[in-house]
Amino acid sequence: MRKRILTGERPTGPLHLGHYVGSLANRVKLQEQYDTFIIVADVQALTTNFDRPERLSEDVRRAALDNIAAGLDPEKVVMFVQSLVPGIAELTVFFSMLVTVNRLRHNPTIKSEAATLGYTDLTYGFLGYPVSQAADILFCRADLVPVGEDQLPHIEMARFVAGRFNELYGRIFPEPEALVSRIPRLVGTDGSAKMSKSIGNCIYLSDPPAEVREKVMSAVTDPARIHKTDPGHPEICTIAAYHRAFDPEESPSVEESCRAGTTGCVACKKRMVEVLEALLSPIRERSTLYEKPGVIDEILIEGTRKACREAEETLEMVRGAMRIDYFKGRSR
């Protein structure tokens, strides 16, 4: 029996290169080896956008389209919408009994996101979304979760929940392992530690060539390097980081010529434009194929049906283990 993967993201807008190196490129490769579930986590998107739900319809479809355009095969993966799988919500309630508020308050990702967003009085939904995410992972009894580095605390939460449930009621769930990519976090075009939609320092998978070029050519490099012949410091340069992520074979020679002052920043940026165009051009082409009205909807509807069946199978085991399958054998 093949192992299972659960991965995905909150639909908060188009996906960018940070998503690609953080998880997306990994999941495209892994779909050939594992049974793969792709979640479009619209409920989790509401934890920070509950006052603007009107965008979700578009964002859900955009997230699905970007995943498929990046190379996921809808015939090989189960892609589904979180809110349309009732079993995940039921699991979330059961799991919430296993996790203390104190543990949630000390979750590093929760603390970091709350600080970034300026939240001082957290909603129940925001504070508890790691429990919801554990249900996302465990409803299909996933063994592996490809994630970016910043999501590791959530995988630890899922492992804690699985272990605690198994301890109390018998072994039902695997304790999922994180698969962190080679480049776990991609710097933004402004030199910030992370490419982020909220900051606006992203190169999107759907950006047209002219926009990609503009963003690369205006990206922050080594501020101490005034002239082309000045020795550079690639360890602090945004474009050098992109070479390491997207052009790993050439990256050592790029960094060497940067340090020697034989290649200027403009030439380095032009090379990166070419590298990114080679990556993004086929993604744009696949996106065009799936943009026809109704195509993405059909993929999500079929995937959600499969996810619902999977969730109900898991819940039957959970209810049995907890001795709350009161009317087993009768319709509920």
CATH of the domain at 163: 3.40.50.620
Which residue did the predictor score with more confidence, 141 or 51?
141
Q: Where does the pLDDT of residue 187 fall: very low under 50, low under 70, confident under 90, or very high at 90 and above?
A: very high
pLDDT per position as a tens digit, 218-232: 999 888 787 778 888
User: In this structure, what CATH number is given to the domain that contains residue 247?
Assistant: 1.10.240.10
Check whether residue 311 and residue 236 sit in a common domain. Answer: no
* CA separation for the pair 308, 300 (Å, rounded): 12
State the DSSP code for 268: H
Check whether residue 62 and residue 166 sit in a common domain. Answer: yes
In a domain, 104, yes or no: yes
Check whether residue 178 and residue 217 sit in a common domain. Answer: no
Position of tokens 């026809």?
A: 292
How many domains, the chain? Answer: 2
In a domain, 332, yes or no: no
Burial 214-225 (b: 16+ CB within 10 A, else e): ebbeebbbbeeb
CB 175 within 8 A of CB 162: yes
In a domain, 241, yes or no: yes
- Token pair, residue 124, equals 């129940």
Check whether residue 243 and residue 170 sit in a common domain. Answer: no
Mean pLDDT computed over every residue of the chain: 91
Check whether residue 92 and residue 222 sit in a common domain. Answer: no
Check whether residue 257 and residue 311 sit in a common domain. Answer: no
In a domain, 11, yes or no: yes
Check whether residue 266 and residue 314 sit in a common domain. Answer: no
Check whether residue 223 and residue 104 sit in a common domain. Answer: no
Q: What pLDDT, on a 0 to 100 scale, did the predictor assign at position 241?
A: 93
Check whether residue 73 and residue 125 sit in a common domain. Answer: yes
pLDDT per position as a tens digit, 267-305: 999 999 999 999 999 999 999 999 888 999 999 999 999
**pTM summary value:** 0.90
In a domain, 202, yes or no: no
* CA separation for the pair 65, 258 (Å, rounded): 38
Check whether residue 213 and residue 176 sit in a common domain. Answer: no
* CA separation for the pair 53, 100 (Å, rounded): 29
pLDDT per position as a tens digit, 61-111: 999 999 999 999 999 999 999 999 999 999 999 999 999 999 998 888 888
In a domain, 23, yes or no: yes
For the chain, state the CA radius of gyration. Answer: 22
Domain hosting 58: range is 4-186+292-322
Could you tell me the sign of the dihedral formed by the alpha carbons of 280, 286, 292, 295, in that order? negative
Q: What pLDDT, on a 0 to 100 scale, did the predictor assign at position 306?
A: 98
Q: What pLDDT, on a 0 to 100 scale, did the predictor assign at position 332?
A: 52
Q: What pLDDT, on a 0 to 100 scale, did the predictor assign at position 85?
A: 98
pLDDT at 22 over 90: no
CB 159 within 8 A of CB 208: no
Q: What pLDDT, on a 0 to 100 scale, did the predictor assign at position 331?
A: 58
Position of tokens 């272990």?
A: 163
In a domain, 128, yes or no: yes
Check whether residue 168 and residue 312 sit in a common domain. Answer: yes
CA-based max dimension of the chain: 79
In a domain, 331, yes or no: no
Check whether residue 17 and residue 80 sit in a common domain. Answer: yes
Which residues are bridge partners to 78 per DSSP? Answer: 37
Residues of the chain above pLDDT 70, percent: 99
